[in-house]
Structure formats: structure tokens, C-alpha cells
Amino acid sequence: MSGWRDTLDLVSIDELAAKFSLNPDELHTISGLYPYRITRHYFNLIREKGDPIWIQSIPDLRESCDDQESDPLSENCLSPVPGLIHRYPDRVVWLVSAECAVYCRFCMRKRRVGCGEGLLVNSSEVIRYISENSSIRDVILSGGDPLMLDDEQLEGILSALKNISHVEMIRIGTRIPVTFPRRVTKKLAAMLAKYHPIYINTHFNHPTEITPESKNACAILADAGIVLGNQTVLIKNVNDEPETMNELMCKLLSIRVRPYYLHQMDLVKGTAHFRTSVNTGLDIMASLRGHLSGLAVPYYVIDLPGGKGKVPLLPGHEVRSDGTIQLTTYLGEKVIYHDI
């Protein structure tokens, strides 16, 4: 049924440890805390220890010594039924899969990916909730990675949503074009196209992730009429230099992907060593805006703690000397955000 699974081709901890002379026990310990998984495609993009691909995918002891909370965005409280996050009136996020092709070390949902908790099991409850809430017009499939479902499972979800008359569009958030591009087939794209309008947001963080294979995956999706956007996470020592971000944004447009969001890292447990300051992001934005095609410039956003939503950070925003920044939520509430 799932022919693509045979081509997933994962690199084991022991192979990783042998290739780079690492301590396998240490890697096993960290992966007991937060799961480890890397595809050979992504692994082969590593050029040397500590490079941007490495930083994003190889377990690091610093993940285990960080005392942030694990659900700063209060996603658990905004969940009317398991697996669904309803924060904004007209749209919901549905966590349809707990699995990814690569487990990113900086993941904001790292407490739940790879552990199969509370996902898909209640799909009829989710469908009922969406049917009964006619204000929901936009359903965002997320996870984990929705494209780790089999085509048949995914189609079951899409067709159930398509049957709800007030659902006007479906979005899919996926890192598969980056981590496992072979999964994107013409068959998959043709299936998705039956449920238009479908929008896909990919997740490229570094120019070296844009390979001929990922370019091809994006072309297959775009040729099926799917509008492609990209969400980048701003990560220390990965893409926190203006030149890197500039190159990434231009290359994305060249593979028919429109930059959408640049995310300030959330304050999630196990990820403190990836975080940059807000000023780093503001400086990067200043280096993009006006210098590049407007299409290449994403919104730089912070997802406010407590589930207050995403706020764009604009050139006028200033981090005060005490490290705080005043932001206004979409509901007009003023909040103080604490930068690192």
C-alpha cells in the first residue's frame, strides 16, 4: 500500500556515530528524550560536523539541559478536541500525523512528534467539531508531517473536509520536499489537486536544502496548481546571517516557492541553544526589504506565548534596553515580549 515507505532510507544512530566518530551512547540518551530520525537524502547534505544541516538534525546534549516550559503557546488549552488547535476564529490546525521524515532538533512540537500521542485517533471527533463550527473556513493540516500519511489516509481526510460546505480551503504544512523529496510523486499531486484550493507551506531553512530533488518535488506540486509558500525558522548558526537568508529567499522564488513567514524561535524546552535575538531578525529583515524583490520578503513573526497569536515584527519595532519589546496582538491587546 505505502510503496514510498520502502524508499525512506533512514540513517541509524550507529551509522551516524561511526561516520563522524561520535559516542553512540550519548546519541541514544538524547534520542530517548527527543526522537532521532534522519533520511539518507538529508544526511547526505551534511558537508561537515557542525554545519547548518548538522545543527538542524543531529542530537546535541544541550537539548537535555534547558528549563523552558514545553507548551509555551498553550496549544494544549486551545485544543477543543484532541489533535485540533483552534486559536483564530476562521481557521484551525489539525495535527494529523506524529511522524516526520527527519526529526528537527529545533522543533517547536518536539514534545509530541515521534511519539504517536493523540493523533488521528479522533478524526471523527475532529470532523464533527469542524462541521459544527461554521466560522471555520481554513483548515491547516500539520503534525508531525501530513505527507508521512499514506496517500489513501490523506485522501480520506481531504475528502471529509471537502464535504463540509463552509471549509473553503485546505493548507498543508510539510517539510517533506526538503527532507524526503522522493515522497512527492505525480500521483500524490494529482490526488491533492482533486481537493483544490490546496495551499502547501514547505519549510526550507538553508540554501543547501534546495537540491535538484527538492526543486523537482516543488515543481510537481506547483504543476498540479498548488500554491507553494515557505515558512523558515530563524536559527542560530544556521540562517542568522543576512547573506544566507538573502540567498535562501531568492532561491525559493526560483523553485516557485513564495517566502511566507520567518519565525522567531518559540520558547520551547530543549531548543534554547537555537534561539537568536529579535534584533538579529530585525537586522535580517532590513537587509531584505527593498534590496530584493518584494516577493522574496517574508513576514517576520513571533508566536506570542499564551496562545495570543502571531504578530509581525516590523522595521519600527524596537527592543528596549531591558530586553523587552511591546507588541500588539491581532485583537488589539498590548503585550510585553521578553527577548533573550
Indicate which residue of 34, 37, 104, 171 is catalytic.
Answer: 104
Contact flag: residue 308 with ligand PLP (CB under 6 A) = no
Contact flag: residue 258 with ligand PLP (CB under 6 A) = no
CB of 274 to ligand SF4, least distance (A): 11
Q: Has 77 been annotated as catalytic?
A: no
Q: Has 34 been annotated as catalytic?
A: no
Q: Has 100 been annotated as catalytic?
A: yes
Indicate which residue of 40, 62, 91, 236 is catalytic.
Answer: 91
Q: Has 310 been annotated as catalytic?
A: yes
**Where along the sequence are the contacts to ligand SF4 (CB under 6 A)?**
100, 103-104, 107, 109, 113, 143-145, 175, 203
Q: Choose one: 60-68, 82-90, 216-224, 281-289; the region binding ligand PLP (CB under 6 A).
A: 82-90
What's the gap between Cα 115 and its chain centre?
17
Contact flag: residue 140 with ligand PLP (CB under 6 A) = yes
* Residue 140 binds: one of ligand PLP, ligand SF4, none (C-beta under 5 to 8 A by kind): ligand PLP
User: Could you write out the three-class secondary structure of the chain?
Assistant: CCHHHHHCCECCHHHHHHHHCCCHHHHHHHHHHCCCCCEHHHHCCCCCCCCHHHHHHCCCHHHHCCCCCCCCCCCCCCCCCCCEEEEECCEEEEECCCCCCCCCCCCCCCCCCCCCCCCCCCHHHHHHHHHHCCCCCEEEEECCCHHHCCHHHHHHHHHHHHCCCCCCEEEEECCHHHHCHHHCCHHHHHHHHCCCCEEEEECCCCHHHCCHHHHHHHHHHHHCCCEEEEEEECCCCCCCCHHHHHHHHHHHHHCCCEEEEEECCCCCCCCHHHCCCHHHHHHHHHHHECCECHHHCCEEEEEECCCCEEEECCCCCCCCCCCEEEEECCCCCEEEEECC
* Residue 93 binds: one of ligand SF4, ligand PLP, none (C-beta under 5 to 8 A by kind): ligand PLP
Q: Has 109 been annotated as catalytic?
A: yes
* Residue 104 binds: one of ligand PLP, ligand SF4, none (C-beta under 5 to 8 A by kind): ligand SF4
CB of 54 to ligand PLP, least distance (A): 28
Indicate which residue of 145, 240, 303, 339 is catalytic.
Answer: 303
Q: How far apart are CA 95 and CA 144, in angstroms?
A: 7
Figure out which of the listed residues 16, 84, 93, 224 binds ligand PLP, where binding follows CB under 6 A: 93
Indicate which residue of 37, 103, 105, 107 is catalytic.
Answer: 107
Contact flag: residue 137 with ligand PLP (CB under 6 A) = no
Contact flag: residue 199 with ligand PLP (CB under 6 A) = no
Q: Which residues are catalytic?
A: 87-88, 91, 100, 104, 107, 109, 266, 303, 310
**List of residues contacting ligand PLP (CB under 6 A):** 85, 87-88, 91, 93, 140, 310
